[in-house]
Structure 1
Amino acid sequence: MSLEQLEFFYAQAPNGLKSFGSALCMTSISLENYVSSLLVTMTMKISIEDHMSGWVPRNLNKDHLDKH
């Protein structure tokens, strides 16, 4: 998705605004990553129980849903 966004900005923007379009594209990617991280953190805080590791375990090699 981000490659297509960047190509769109370069194809449609005037010469003076190509760098602004690139910066806007990178800003949207960073905001998407921040929101994704926030959602995973909130899900982890909600799904952790007493001895269970939660929906997304800290160690993916040790914790499997089929072992619980």
Structure 2
Amino acid sequence: MSAVHRLTVVVDPAACCAMGRCAATAPEIFDQDPDTGTVVLLDATPPPESHESARLCAELCPCGAITVDED
């Protein structure tokens, strides 16, 4: 039996500059607070089919508010 690859998404709302790239790129993982526009994490451990989107959001975030940890 093969090991399951796990990815954990971490956000820092205090570092978020409310650009919305994450919510536009991966709406299954991220949303925006309707009042502040800051990132809201919907799924901290997304399924494998969303891993690439999560990585892309971390890369695209201009504020560095998103990180991904893989194990």
User: Do the two structures share a fold, i.e. TM-score over 0.5?
Assistant: no
Of structures 1 and 2, the one with the larger relative CO (CA 8 A, separation 6+) is 2
TM-score calculated relative to the size of structure 1: 0.29
Structure (1 or 2) with the larger CA radius of gyration: 1
Higher helix fraction (1 or 2): 1
